[in-house]
Structures are given as structure tokens and as C-alpha cells.
Amino acid sequence: MDARQVSNLPLNSRDTYQLLQLQPGVQGVGGSDLFYGSNTAGAVSVNGGRGRSNNFNVNGGDSNDLFVNAPAVQPTPDSIAEFRVLSNTFDAEYGRNSGAVINVVTKSGTNGLHGSFYEFLRNQSLNSKGFLDLRRPDDKQNQFGGTFGGPIIKDRTFFFASYEGRRVVHGISSDPVTVPTAAERAGDFSRTPFTGAIADDLVANILNERCGVDISGSLNYSDLFPGNQVPTACFDPVAVDIMNRFVPCPNADPGCTNLDPNVDPTFRSIPNDRNHGNQFSLKFDHRINNKQNLSLYYFFNDTVDAQPFTRFQAATPSLLDGFGNNNAERVQQINLSHTWTISNSTVNEARITYFREAQGTFLHPQRTNNVIDSCSTLGVANCFNGVTDAPDAFANAGLDLNNPKYGITPNLGPNREGVPFIGVSGGFTIGNNFEGELPQIGNSYQISDNITKVIGNHTTKFGVDLREQRFLQTLYFDVNGDYSYFGGSSNDPIALDGLGNQNLFPNYLLGLPDSYLQGSAQTEDVRGKSVYLFAQDSWKIRPNLTLNYGLRWEFNQPIYDAGKRYQTFRPGQADTVFNCQLSATSLGALGYTNPNCADPNSDSNAVFPLGLVVPGDKGVPRGLTQSYYNSWAPRVGIAWDPWKNGKTTIRGGWGLFYNPIEQLVLEQFQGEPPFGGSSLISGGLFNTPFVFQSGGTPAPNPFNGIITPAPGDNVDWASFRPILLFGELEPKMRAQYTAQYNFGITRELARDLVLSVGYVGSQGHRLLATRDINFGDPQTCIDLQNLSDINPNAVTDGFGSLQGCGPFFADSPYGIPANSIPAGFTLHLPDGSIVTGPNSQAIGLVGLRRYSSPNCKPVGGWTPDSGGGTPSFLNGCPTDGVPVFSSIFAQDTIANSNYNSMQVSLEKRLSHGLQFEIAYTWSKSIDNASSFENILKPLCNACNRSLSLFDARNRVVLSYLWQLPVPNYQGEKGKVLNGWAISGIDSFQSGFPVRIQSSNDSELMNSFDFELPGKPDLIAPFHTLDPRKPLPGSSPAQTGYAFDPNSFALPEQTADSTPLQLLGNSPRTICCGPGINNFDLSVQKITPLGERLHMEFRAEFFNLFNHTQFLNPDGNISDGADFGRVKHTRDPRQMQFALKFSF
């Protein structure tokens, strides 16, 4: 695309990378990348490739965001001379990624002075109200700037400069969020029946003390609170204070004065995103002599963005505003190139590029305070500081009444701390981003050199491209804590039915979370190098037949931390890097009984979890996986003009293309012990999360600032349990690659009119995906529940309470007394062994995962009486019953993809004032993971095979420029009627597939990874619906559904009613969500103001006809009434005006 198309086509927010989607085979990724990066114009799928598989260059130099591989250098449209996209089987000169190669060439100065200055203005008064918006969102946008270029030394040295400023205020509609009504705040939960029972003495005693009820033994909450009426005195005062301060009233009752329990509890808001930016670029071109030219390009962009919602974890639902992020980014690129025509047949191109991306403030919370100051100034004295509001209950349990370690202790100061992250299933989510802020500075260095040589009818080219990247960052992972209320236990006041049809506000207000996760800050110095070599030849066999062939070699060093502050998991391997520490606490917690520090080969040579290793351990390189040197990429293509008249060309090609692993993947290895902390506490109390609801020994609280132990330091591993490993790289990972192929015919139908028709296909191999290698064993859980049904006293939690088994119990302890398993009964253990009754020894299980407690020997691993009448775990099992490991997420190159398409384009080059292109794609893309965040079924990778999240079966895009054929009038009439033109982009696309999920944990893999692995059953044909119309059969009528949720159900229960099996039968994705029907139009009027000065007026309309274009619906069956419902739409009609002066 040339400068005319780039500067005249209507581009929303003037983002040049929107032009990518004008090409056949290119569409947006449809949210397939769950993390930050998938909502930018440059995040596209090209010919079945993933959204992060594209390579962006400006003036030939690297301009890729180092974190998520998106375009970081984005020149203004007025500074661009050419926008070039290469896709599918391009020459061996290009690579690094398997998607498209995008090269933006900026303008240069000439012997004449030329330039422009402009402003684009937008205001919400010009826009339409969205279909789901409460009101017309604020939309104030000013983009202003200019360009100026000319000679410094005539015919030798030239310059070109550009500037653009951005001042944007843009309203963003929130998800519909269910918040407590006035009745619920007053304790009236008549619409939410209690289903659980009190089983813990500490909880009973706390409620006794708060609200004066008499609880003895197990008691159903429905009996304790008749009619589901809870006296407000029973509420946790901290939970009430946090709710009153940060959780708004429903839109239907903004003052929370209506005590009718049937008030609509929905809250929606439209807070503003504020973006302020300045961009500057400067280019110098110098002709050294007739054979040598030098070019220097400098790009600078500063952006400050205040976002009302977090963007890092895009999958987080039900967010309330008030906990947004501040981001400040400075991007710079310096590009120096030298072109030398050595002879008439030889040309050398050398280039040096430096790229810097500094995000000194990235995802920094807009609301910061010491965690213990999260409550209101008129609030309570015990605000996450370890002080209980029930001193008698704590005293009876032998707990301290004031212990800071019972509370939240980031110890990072008021600028880094804030309100904990709190998620209530069926309700709201508040608090500072649980992923944590991430200030970072990335530097990329590139040196490349290419030589082109013409020898007869051969044009040969070969070259080298060397790159190094460095990324310094500090991740404040979940430093303020993360509470989850999901109703996973029968001891909860409300235990969810798996369908999300109930909110858990009673659980929240009583201060009884299901889990608490906390991490710590960690600093990394990430580095990596790449080497790319290529050789290619274009052989003109005959005047009408050309063969292109080449070979490329790529080496991408596994990214590593210079301080070796990564960890990974190798089953059965003991760490040797850190000192052997023999504290009694650590020994008992990790199950060590006979440590031997003198023997490096002993499994118990150090108090370090067996299997957790770091760089420097045997077989663990600093990049955690092997360096792969076998990335050879052959390329071949042919072009044939069968009739030798230049009007018909038949083309075909094939090639291999490789992908590096983006730096974001390594982000998952931060915040983990011993270089960070991540502890998952199940069943703690809200105000004192490290105190279990069951009482007993509190969980260890290791958090205290940034944890940076050096190799050889002692680490007390008793403090980090259960360890939740978000990342584990397989040791023998190989490079991701894609095989691409195409065949097509291009025909000139008339002068300036060209038709192209072709087949384009690709197959992705060894693509990166995630799987849980430490999931809970459903068969063990079923056996335990069956055993409890046969013998109600057979299964306990190991400390005196009866223990059932079911969803969300993968990290629970189990004690089975000797002789309690009947003859012939089979108990499957998580390690694969089997116990057949009767059992002569007691059995202890500390978690249901294969590696829950690596040293634990279940048979003989528990005693109901350890000598003092106290039950305990033993035989290598953690004595306190807390597992060593929870989920362990492995990143591995185990996914694949397949893409096939017919692509048609009809292009009319500019003549008679008209230029257009029509691009049509008919395609199908299938994979078992559409990005590395997608989690695979651990025992059957192929079972995830389904439509790609970015699959778009049909897509048509028309782009055009038309100078209206108005007669050339003179005088005043000419100033009014001459110079009119229109341009536009019209897009039509079938919908993206919907990701179908379940969070009821029937597969025992529900966790804190990127997405939910569970799936429901598809019990009826899938039917798409018009969200404007009522859901069939709903009473009263409910609208907003894009598919019928009644086509799905939770997986069938087992014979004994234990809802456990691996996954439902629904496909991972199902076709399809709502499509795209969009018209963007620009009307332009150019008026001469003299011989060289022109004024251009523009009126631009985005979504001209205000078509409501729904985004994909909620695909999680556990989201209750939201399942199948659309929560967002694409933008309604937006208008902007522009005035530009050019000379």
C-alpha cells in the first residue's frame, strides 16, 4: 500500500496497522490471547497463524514489542510512504515468525520543502449510543500534528520530520455485575437458599461470639439462620467495611434504600480511559556518492494511559471500576542503514537498529495504600493486620489474638500495596490487579547485512541478522492477596451447584472465603540472543518462468534470567544449588525424616521440595530448556506466465517457518519460590487469611518485601506451601514451526484491473500450549467418596473431622484408619498404586495430586493417635497435612494447527480517480490451542482439537478511494464543488467460535491458570440466537442471548452421585458467535488556497449505519444466567472531523 491509501483510508484512531485486515487471509484474533496484547490492531491471525506470530519492522529494523510480540513502533499515517505485508511462503530473506512480515517504510525529504499540519476532532455528541450502553459514553479525542521535509544540501542530504499529539478521553462500558442489594446488605438472603453446614469449631465459636447464637456440633446454616435471614452482627466487620467502601449499589436502587429482595441487583458503569501521548520522528537521508547512501531514522513516542479496568488478565470477569491501572510508556527506535552499489551487479545493505521500550509505570494501581489501611478511616481496628474481632474464639483455639503474620504482610510500602483482590462467584470482583504491576525496560539490538548479486539469469541474495534482547522487570505478583469465593465446600454457607445460579454474598459477608493466594515481588534481568542466516536465488529459467528457492537457518536462544532466578519442576530430582537446611519445621512440613547433607545424590539431601530445581542443577540450563539448533527453513516458489503476454501468472510455493517463544511466556516463571513466594491457602478466614477455618496450626506467612535468595542461601520451605507453580518448561522443547503452501492464478482482466484466485494452507507443528501435570486424580476422589458411603467413619481430614471428596478437594488431606477398607474394595492412589481392602495399616493422603507431597508414602503415612492423643501424618508426609505442591503448569510445544483457505482478490489500480480492492477469504482453521495460554487436557492433547478461536469461515473486505467525477469548475463555484472524494473500508465476516468452559471442577483441574479447563456436556443441537430477541421459553422474557444455554448441561454424575469425571463432551470451541457487518466512510474536500497550499476537510464515519455488532457471548456454563449472553458490542457509530493543510 502506498502513501495515498495509508493517509486517505478511514482509520479509527489513526492506527495504521488496521490496514493489515484489508488483505485476504487476515482477521483479528477474536480474543484468543487471554493476556494483554490481543485487543490491538496489530494482533491479527494471518493464514491460520496465532496472533503473536507476526514480525513487525519499520524501515527494515525490528519494532516488535518484546513482551507480547505486537507492533511497538507505530508511525503516524502522514509519515508513511509504504505499508508492505508479506504472507505465506515469502522469501528466505524474511523470517523470525511464521505469520506475516510487516514492513513500514517512512517518507523521506526531497529537494522541495513539503509538509502538512492537521487536527482530527471527535466528541461524543457526534456518536450514537451503543445497544448495551446505559448512556452515550464520553468520547473526546484530539489528534493533532504535522509533517515537514526538505533538503539540507540540495541533491545530497534531506530530512523529514513528523509530530502527532493525542489527547483522548474514552468511556468504557463495564460488564453487568451483580452487587448486593439493600436487602442483602441488611442480611435478607431470602432469594439465596443456604445449602451448607457448619463443621468447624472455630467458625462456630466466631459466630457465637459475634451474634450470640448457640452452636454445638454440626449445624446447617439454614437452621442457624431461619428464612435465610442473617443478623448483621454476624457479618465480618472487615468484609462489611470493604463492601460499603468499594461495592456500589445496583443501578435500580442507587442509594441502597429499597429493601425489596427482588430489586434488580445489576450494576453497570461507564468510567473513562484517559490517554495522553506525543510522538515524534525524524529521518535523514544522505547520498555519500553515486554508489553509497546513508539513512538515519529516529522514532520517539511517549504515552500515559489511565485505564479504569485492568488489561493484563483479560479473562477476569465481573470487574467493578475504581481499581484501574496507570501506564506510562516510552518507545524509541534508532535505525541506521547503509546501501552500497558495489558494481552494476552487486549491492550491499547494512543496518543497525536499537529499539527501547521503557514502561516505568505498567499496570500500576490507581488506588494504592498499605494493605492494612484498606478499610475506611471510620472503619475497624482489625483490617488485615492480624487482629481478630473474635478474641474468645481465637483463645479457645489456642491462637494469638494479635499476630501480624495472620494478616497480609507485603511490606512494600503504600506506593506498591493496595486493596486485596476479591472475587465473589455470581457477584463482583474488586481490588488491585491480582497479576500485579510490572514495571519493565526492554532493549533490543540488531545488526544485519545482506548482499545481492546478479549473475546471468540468477539474482542471488544472502545475509545475516544478529539480535540480542534484554528485559529488566520487577513483577509484584499478587502481593496484596487474592480471595476467591466459589462455594466449593459443603462447609460453605452456600455451595454452588456448578451452574453459577447463586451469588455467594453470605459467604463473603460472613468472612468465609474458599481460598487465598498471595505472592511476592521479584526482579528479573531477562536476556536472549538470536541468529538468522539465509541464502536465496531467483532463477529466471525462461522469460516466462521464474523459480525462487532458498534456505534459512534460525537460532533463538532460550530466554534466561542473568541472575538465574527461574525455577522448574523435574519429577524426582533433588536440588543441589541451595544449602542443606535442617530446621525441624521444614523437615516435618516437607516430609523429610533422614536428611543427609553430605550425600548430594540422596533424595533427602536438602530441605527443598523434591522435584523443584533451578538453573545450575543437573540438566537444568539457565533457559530451563535445551537450545535447539535444527531450525532449517527451506523455501521454494515458482511463477509462470503460460501465454507469455504478461496478463496471466500461475504461482505456487512451499516453505517452513519458525516462531520464537515470546517473553510473556517466561513471565509465568516469576513470583515462585525460592525467588518469590506463592502460597495457596484453602479455607482461611477473610480478615486473617493464614488462619484456617478449622482452627489448628495457622498456615505459614513468608511474605516480607522482595525475596531474592542467592544460590547457597538457606530457604525455609515450610513457609511456601502449597506451592502453585505457574510455569514449568519441558527440558527437551523444540522450536515451533509452520509448513506453508499455496497455489494461485493472477489474471489481468482489463487495464488496471487484476483478479487473483488461490489456495492457501498451513500446518502448525510443535506449537506452545499449557497443561497441568499435577492435576487431582478423579478416581482417587471417587474411591474416597464411595468408601465414605460404605463406612461413614472411614475417611477423615486426618485431624478428627470427617472428610468427603469432590470438586475443589484436590489439596485436602485424608486419613484412613487401619482395617476401615472392606475386603475387596479397591482404593486407587494418586501415584498410580492400588490398595485393596482390608488395609492392615492406616493410609494418609496429603492432597490428591501425583506430586502433592513428593516424599509422602501413603500406606503407613497417617496415625489417628501419635502418642499424645493427637492424630498426625508421618512416613514422609507433611505433618500438618498441607501439600507441598498444588497445580504445576507445564509449557510445552505440544499443540498443532491446520488451516485451509480459498482467497480471492480483485484490485483496481488508480485510474480515472478510482482505486479499490475486494478481498474475500473462505477458510477453516483447526487447532488444539489457539495461544500458549490455552490449557490442554493432560492425558489427551488431541481431545482439545476444535475450531481455532480466530477461525472466520467467510470474510469480505472492500477498500476504496474515489475522487468524485465532478466537472472542473472555476472561481467560487469551483472552490465549493471541486475536490470532493470519498474513501471507505467495508467489512463483513462470519462470527468467531465460542470458547465453551465450566468452572465446577468436576475434572479436579480447576485452578489459577490462564483459563478454565472444564467443559460441559452438549445435550442438544447448538442454536445461535439474535440477542435482540427473547430467549425461547424464558419467562419472563430474557434478551441478550447469542446461543441457547439450554443446549448444555454439567457432565453427568457418577453412579454414586459424586460429580466427578474428566471433561464434558462439548467441543472446546463451537461455531459461532455474532459476525461483523461494518461500514467505515470518509468524505474529503480539498480546496486550493494558492499555488502550493491546500486545505483538506474530512468527515469520517465509523460504523456508518450504526449496525449493532455483538461480541462473543459468555461461554462459561458456571456463570449462571450470563452463560450464552452477550455482554459487549463493537463500537456504535462514531464520527470525527479533520482539517489538514498541505504544502
Residue 925, in any domain of the structure: no
**Which DSSP string corresponds to 885-931?**
EEEEEEEEEEEEEEEEEEEEEEEEEEETTEEEEEEEEEEEEEES-SS
Neighbour-count burial for 164-201, b at 16+ CB within 10 Å, e otherwise = bebebbbbbbbbbbbbbbbbbbbbbbeebebbbbbbbb
Cα dist from 875 to 141, 460, 843, 860, whole Å: 67, 70, 10, 6
Indicate the SS3 state at residue 643.
coil
Of 234, 211, 683, 229, nearest in space to 492 by CA: 683
Rounded Cα–Cα distance for residues 1075 and 1071 (Å):
11
For residue range 100-126, list pLDDT tens digits in order.
999 999 999 999 999 999 999 999 999
Cα dist from 1001 to 504, 853, 1023, whole Å: 17, 21, 26
Cell of 29: 484474533
Give 408's Cβ-side CA count (13 Å radius): 32
Residues of the chain scoring pLDDT < 70: 30-41, 216-217, 311-317, 377-380, 488-490, 495-501, 580-588, 592-607, 663-664, 666-671, 707, 712, 714, 718, 726-727, 866-869, 1006-1012, 1052-1063
Cell of 120: 482530527
Out of 882, 913, 938, a domain closes at: 882
Cell of 449: 547485512
867: containing domain: 776-809+812-882
CA of residue 446 relative to chain centroid, distance: 28
Residue 867, in any domain of the structure: yes
**What is the bridge-based pairing of β-strands 545-556 and 631-640?**
antiparallel
**Which DSSP string corresponds to 727-780?**
EEE-TT---EEEEEEEEEEEEEEETTEEEEEEEEEEEEEEEEEEEESS-B-HHH
Contacts 24+ apart (CB under 8 A), 741-744: 741/88, 741/89, 741/652, 741/653, 741/654, 741/655, 742/88, 742/89, 742/651, 742/652, 742/653, 743/651, 743/652, 744/650, 744/651, 744/652, 744/903
Rounded Cα–Cα distance for residues 1135 and 1131 (Å):
11
Residue 1083, in any domain of the structure: no
Residue 1015, in any domain of the structure: no
Q: State how many domains the chain has.
A: 2
Residue 1050: its pLDDT value, please? 82
Of 990, 991, 1008, 1117, nearest in space to 1065 by CA: 1117
Cell of 153: 544540501
What is the three-state SS of 201-270? HHHHHHHHHHHCCCCCCCEEHHHHCHHHECCHHHCCHHHHHHHHHHCCCCCCCCCCCCCCCCCCCEECCC
Number of neighbours of residue 792 by Cβ within 10 angstroms = 9
Residue 125, in any domain of the structure: no
Of 512, 519, 514, nearest in space to 238 by CA: 512
Rounded Cα–Cα distance for residues 199 and 693 (Å):
9
Contacts of 545 (CB under 8 A, 6+ apart): 638, 639, 640, 641
Neighbour-count burial for 300-315, b at 16+ CB within 10 Å, e otherwise = bbebebbbbbbbbbbe
pTM as predicted? 0.92
Phi-psi region of 61 (alpha: psi -120 to 50; beta: other; left: phi over 0): beta
Scan for cell 532493549, then name that residue: 443
Residue 618, in any domain of the structure: no
Residue 627: its pLDDT value, please? 94
Q: Are 930 and 764 in contact (CB under 8 A)?
A: no
Q: Are 328 and 436 in contact (CB under 8 A)?
A: no
Scan for cell 490428591, then name that residue: 848
Cell of 440: 519493565
Residue 50, in any domain of the structure: no
Q: Are 177 and 428 in contact (CB under 8 A)?
A: yes
Asked if the peptide bond before residue 674 counts as cis, ω within 30 degrees of 0, the response is yes
Residue 232: its pLDDT value, please? 95
Residue 313: its pLDDT value, please? 45
What is the three-state SS of 933-956? CCEECCCCHHHHCEECCCCCCEEE
Out of 489, 519, 549, a domain closes at: 519
Number of neighbours of residue 57 by Cβ within 10 angstroms = 22
Give, in degrees to the nearest 5, the angle at Cα 851 between 848 and 852: 50
Q: Are 371 and 413 in contact (CB under 8 A)?
A: no
Scan for cell 446454616, then name that residue: 221
Residue 618: its pLDDT value, please? 92
Instruction: Give me the count of residues in the chain.
Output: 1143
Largest interatomic CA distance in the chain = 109
Give 140's Cβ-side CA count (13 Å radius): 8
Q: Are 47 and 20 in contact (CB under 8 A)?
A: no
Q: Are 323 and 430 in contact (CB under 8 A)?
A: yes
Cα dist from 971 to 977, 1089, 1090, whole Å: 10, 12, 13
Q: Are 808 and 848 in contact (CB under 8 A)?
A: no
Out of 866, 882, 898, a domain closes at: 882
Residue 515, in any domain of the structure: yes
Of 1085, 1104, 1117, nearest in space to 994 by CA: 1117
Give 1010's Cβ-side CA count (13 Å radius): 28
Q: Are 303 and 286 in contact (CB under 8 A)?
A: no
Indicate the SS3 state at residue 404.
helix
Of 357, 421, 415, 356, nearest in space to 384 by CA: 421
Residue 390: its pLDDT value, please? 94
Of 539, 531, 533, nearest in space to 453 by CA: 539
CA-atom Rg of the chain in angstroms: 32
Task: Judge residue 50's burial from the number of C-beta atoms within 10 Å of its C-beta, 0-12 exposed, 13-18 middle, 19 or more buried.
Answer: buried
